[in-house]
Amino acid sequence: FIQTDAAINPGNSGGPLVDVEKGEIIGINTCIRANMEGTSFAVPINKAKAIVDDLAEGKHINHGYVGVSMASLTPDLARQNNADPNS
């Protein structure tokens, strides 16, 4: 994703992210981060171009997933994480 400060509000995602200096579409506005005012994300236009035909044919698109989650680090969790240096 491209992180941007473009104004994206609920209901108006899907519009173009435009490089105003060159007049080129560089992404498709997709989502906002609820707890980060003014931060939004766009799918890079090269990614959209690469999958547009598959989407039109109804094919499933696989996306990478990092598998990271957030948690508050408590003393118990710190001890648990440090108990096995190979974990």
Q: Which tokens belong to 78?
A: 């710190």
Amino acid at 72: S
- Per-residue pLDDT of the chain (87 residues), as tens digits, is 888 887 777 777 788 889 999 999 999 988 877 777 778 888 999 999 999 999 999 999 887 777 777 788 899 988 888 887 776
Query: What does the alpha-carbon distance between residue 59 and residue 86 come to, in Å, rounded to a whole number?
Result: 40
The answer, as to whether pTM is greater than 0.75, is no
